[in-house]
């Protein structure tokens, strides 16, 4: 959430910054602003709403001349989304401008102190406190002032700062909010994420916690919060810049759904070698894997739903106890963790604040942590003991599709690896599972090719007020994600329930014409799920069923059936989720919703 872009160099800064911000729109925002030094003063332009308003206001940056500047897309936390609260923020003499991602937790106390010193505030934000605090400590040395501020503030931040008195320098600092820097022959850049600057450079350096960067037009220097200079290594971004473009699709979300076969194959196939699952990134011997007594999977949102599936698959195949936690609950409930446990944290961005906090809490307690992430060099990737990358490529749409699908693959591979080491799956069964996994990319592609049927069905429910998803076991996990996909992009109230819980209250919500999507992919649970379908149909529900080829018995209880290809029941989520993704997408499109950027949501949730 929120996006920062900054530039200093030989070219006009404003057009570069605005273009970079446009490539960060997927992160979620409600206002935008830009500050550029024109040779005499720092000029700021801000606007509530979409970035397009700011672009039109500044004629795509042409009205803001200058070679150093910072820009920001804001997702409101402190203060309503309006022009006054939008970033950048000035100091009192308008000689310092600041953009900020994150939350300053002690801003109230700092604000009170600054008011007593004579500072006046025009916004309700915590960020304006940072601007005035830098001013308070500034005595001509920007680096010294920034370090003093960082010692005073508590919370999370990624900062971009420019000084009118030092127009040849751009400063950035970071703690718990993502920040990268890059350089080419024409200048230096700061950004919240790689897509913002990938057009200009593939060499990026990840700023670590409590580090400060001073950028000039032709070089960068890195410092600790104690002003000690440090050396940093850059990394080369390998993926194609075109991967972050729509490529002719109406929305990024649709494009990314169609990229799922490739993402699944890229994550899966390199880790199957000579009939075995080989995960070199684990950095664990078979003996160490065998010594793991319990697994905790910790994640948020869709990654949590992938973790729920992971629990069922790991327990079924490897016969190891697995506990799944929402990261926002795990980090605060003071969990009792068993000795010999392993923690798996799952995050698309690798920057999810609650998941990152759970990782740190687990490491503090002495537990080994494996990160499953999609972004190379992200905070979780750097801080986990080992990392299993999902090779989904850049995901721009806020509602995840391909990252979720590749997270499932990573968890399947882990389950099979544990099962092999623990000898809980026979050779023939193991080989059959590998064959089923290898078929998934083609099967997903086949399901995507049937989009027209799902689109027609979705058009019937554009005006729906409530939709329910039910399932048992892995089908419940599928239902959780199917429901989330629908609600987050279409704004239709949707809930997922374990089908066996219907009669414990939820069935009272079923009315004539209510759509109930019943997921039934687990053969041993077919009969039970059909009973639940009959229950809701008897109360007037229209039942959509997602089930396996050959389960024609379900047609007696369902009004509309979507069949998925045959696969091992443990891997059914990878197929059953595809029609549910498409259903949610086409309902949202039919309603005219902003599919890629749903209201109030952000791609990377870097605050609590």
Least confident of 72-81, 134-143, 379-388, 460-469: 72-81
Q: Helix, strand or coil for residue 170?
A: strand
Does 570 qualify as catalytic in the annotation? no
pLDDT, mean of residues 445-461: 92
Q: How far is CA 451 from CA 168, 317, 447, 547, in A?
A: 54, 33, 7, 16
Pairing of strands 157-163, 180-184: unpaired
Contact 572, 67 (CB under 8 A): no
The answer on pLDDT for 606 being more than 60 is no
Neighbours of 503 (CB within 10 A): 11
Domains of the chain: 3-238 (3.60.20.10), 242-448 (3.40.50.10490), 450-594 (3.40.50.10490)
| pLDDT tens column, 556-578 | 899 999 999 999 999 999 999 99
Q: Is the pLDDT of residue 460 over 70?
A: yes
pLDDT in tens, 130-177: 999 999 999 999 999 999 999 999 988 999 999 999 999 999 999 888
- Provide mean pLDDT across the span 395-408: 94
Q: What is the pLDDT of residues 12-39, one digit of tens each?
A: 999 999 999 988 876 667 889 999 999 9
Residue 353: the pLDDT is 87
Three-state DSSP state, 326: strand
User: Is 10 designated active site?
Assistant: no
Cα three-residue angle 72-75-76, rounded to 5 degrees: 115
Percent of the chain with pLDDT over 70: 97
User: What residues contact residue 166 under an 8 Å CB cut-off, 6+ apart?
Assistant: 142
Residues 330-373: tens digit of each pLDDT: 988 888 898 999 999 999 988 888 999 999 999 999 999 999 99
- Give the integer Cα–Cα distance in Å for 404 and 345: 14
* Per-residue pLDDT, 26: 66
Q: What residue ranges in 349-498 does DSSP mark as E strands?
A: 368-373, 386-389, 466-471, 493-498
Q: State yes or no: pLDDT of 225 exceeds 60.
A: yes
The Cα-based distances of 349 to 212, 219, 345, 373 in angstroms read 22, 28, 12, 7
514: left (phi over 0), alpha (psi -120 to 50) or beta: beta
Q: What is the dihedral of CA 10, 13, 18, 24, to 10 degrees?
A: 70
Is residue 100 within a helix (H) or strand (E), and if so which, with residue range?
A: strand 96-101
d(CA 37, CA 13): 9
Question: Given pLDDT bands bounded at 50, 70 and 90, which one contains residue 244?
Answer: low
Q: What is the pLDDT of residue 235?
A: 86
The tens digit of pLDDT for each residue in 293-334 reads: 999 999 999 999 999 999 999 999 999 999 999 999 998 888
pLDDT at 608 over 60: no
pLDDT at 27: 64
pTM score > 0.85 for this model? no
Q: Give the pLDDT confidence score for residue 503 in this predicted structure.
A: 77
**End-to-end C-alpha distance for the chain, whole angstroms:** 11
Q: Give the residue-averaged pLDDT of 457-464.
A: 91
- Among candidate residues 311, 417, 485, 603, the one labeled active-site is 603
Q: Is the pLDDT of residue 93 over 90?
A: yes
Confidence bin at 6 (pLDDT 50/70/90): very high
Answer whether residue 67 shows pLDDT above 80.
Answer: yes
Strand 235-236 to 203-206 pairing: antiparallel
- Please tell me the predicted confidence (pLDDT) of residue 243: 63
Q: What is the pLDDT of residue 19?
A: 93
Provide the 8-state DSSP code for 93: T
DSSP H helices, 123-184, are: 127-137, 142-152
Which residue is associated with the tokens 């039109």? Answer: 56
Task: Count other Cβ atoms within 10 Å, centred on residue 130.
Answer: 29
Rounded to the nearest integer, the mean pLDDT of the chain is 92
pLDDT of residue 102: 87
Chain-centre distance for alpha carbon 269: 24
Average pLDDT rounded to a whole number, residues 531-554: 91
Q: Which of 2, 188, 570, 593 is catalytic?
A: 2
How far apart are the C-alpha atoms of 165 and 145, rounded to whole Å?
A: 13
* CA distances for 412 relative to 409, 417, 447, angstroms: 5, 9, 20
- Please give the Cα distance from 562 to 140 (Å, whole number): 68
Confidence of residue 240 (pLDDT cuts 50, 70, 90): low
Contact present, 6 and 70 (Cβ < 8 Å): yes
Burial class (CB in 10 A: 0-12, 13-18, 19+), 247: exposed
* Biggest distance spanned by C-alpha atoms of the chain: 79
pLDDT in tens, 255-291: 999 999 999 999 999 999 999 999 988 888 999 999 9
**Rounded distance, CA 398 to CA 604, Å?**
8
Token digits of residue 255: 């494009």
- pLDDT tens-digit map of 478-536: 999 999 999 999 999 999 999 888 778 778 788 888 999 999 999 999 999 999 899 89
How high is the pLDDT of residue 28? 65
């Amino acid at each position: 959430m929120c996006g920062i872009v900054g530039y200093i160099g030989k070219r006009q800064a404003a057009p570069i910054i605005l273009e970079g911000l446009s490539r960060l729109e997927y992160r979620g925002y409600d206002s935008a602003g830009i500050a550029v030094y024109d040779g005499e003063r720092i000029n700021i332009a801000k606007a509530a709403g979409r970035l397009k308003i700011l672009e039109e206001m500044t004629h795509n940056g042409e009205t803001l001349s200058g070679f150093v500047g910072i820009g920001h897309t804001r997702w409101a936390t402190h203060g309503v989304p309006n022009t006054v609260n939008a970033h950048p923020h000035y100091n009192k003499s308008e000689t310092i401008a600041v953009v900020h991602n994150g939350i300053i937790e002690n801003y109230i106390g700092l604000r009170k102190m600054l008011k007593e010193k004579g500072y006046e505030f025009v916004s309700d934000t915590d960020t304006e406190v940072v601007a005035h605090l830098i001013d308070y400590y500034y005595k001509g040395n920007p680096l010294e002032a920034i370090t003093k501020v960082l010692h005073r503030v508590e919370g999370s931040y990624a900062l971009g700062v420019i000084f009118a008195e030092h127009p040849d320098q751009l400063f950035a600092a970071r703690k718990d909010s993502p920040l990268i820097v890059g350089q080419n022959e024409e200048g230096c850049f700061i950004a919240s994420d790689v897509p913002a600057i990938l057009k200009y450079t593939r060499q990026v350096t990840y700023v670590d916690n409590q580090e400060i960067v001073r950028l000039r037009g032709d070089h960068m220097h890195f410092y600790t919060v104690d002003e000690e200079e440090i050396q940093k290594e850059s990394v080369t971004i390998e993926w194609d810049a075109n991967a972050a473009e729509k490529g002719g699709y109406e929305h990024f979300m649709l494009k990314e759904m169609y990229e799922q076969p490739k993402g699944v194959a890229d994550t899966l196939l390199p880790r199957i070698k000579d009939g075995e699952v080989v995960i070199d990134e684990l950095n664990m011997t078979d003996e160490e894997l065998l010594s793991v007594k319990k697994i905790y999977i910790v994640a948020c949102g869709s990654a949590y739903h992938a973790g729920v599936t992971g629990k069922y698959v790991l327990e079924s195949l490897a016969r190891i106890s697995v506990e799944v936690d929402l990261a926002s609950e795990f980090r605060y409930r003071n969990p009792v963790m068993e000795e010999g446990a392993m923690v798996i944290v799952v995050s698309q961005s690798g920057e999810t604040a609650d998941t990152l906090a759970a990782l740190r809490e687990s490491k503090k307690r002495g537990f080994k942590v494996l990160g499953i992430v999609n972004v190379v060099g992200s905070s979780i990737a750097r801080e986990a003991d080992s990392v299993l990358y999902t090779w989904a490529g850049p995901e721009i749409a806020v509602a995840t599709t391909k990252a979720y699908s590749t997270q499932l693959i990573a968890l399947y591979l882990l389950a099979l690896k544990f099962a092999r080491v623990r000898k809980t799956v026979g050779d023939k069964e193991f080989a059959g599972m590998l064959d089923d996994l290898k078929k998934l990319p083609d099967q997903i592609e086949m399901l995507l090719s049937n989009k027209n049927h799902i689109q027609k069905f979705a058009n019937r429910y554009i005006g729906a007020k409530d939709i329910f998803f039910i399932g048992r076991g892995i089908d419940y996990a599928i239902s959780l994600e199917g429901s989330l996909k629908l609600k987050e992009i279409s704004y239709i109230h949707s809930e997922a329930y374990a089908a066996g819980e219907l009669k414990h209250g939820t069935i009272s919500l079923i009315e004539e014409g209510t759509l109930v999507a019943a997921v039934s992919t687990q053969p041993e649970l077919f009969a039970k799920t059909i009973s639940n379908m009959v229950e809701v149909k008897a109360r007037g529900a229209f039942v959509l069923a997602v089930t396996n080829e050959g389960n024609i018995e379900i047609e007696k209880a369902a009004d509309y059936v979507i069949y998925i290809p045959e696969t091992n029941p443990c891997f059914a989520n990878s197929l059953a989720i595809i029609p549910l993704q498409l259903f949610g997408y086409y309902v949202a499109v039919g309603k005219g919703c902003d599919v890629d950027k749903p209201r109030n949501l952000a791609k990377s949730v870097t605050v609590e």
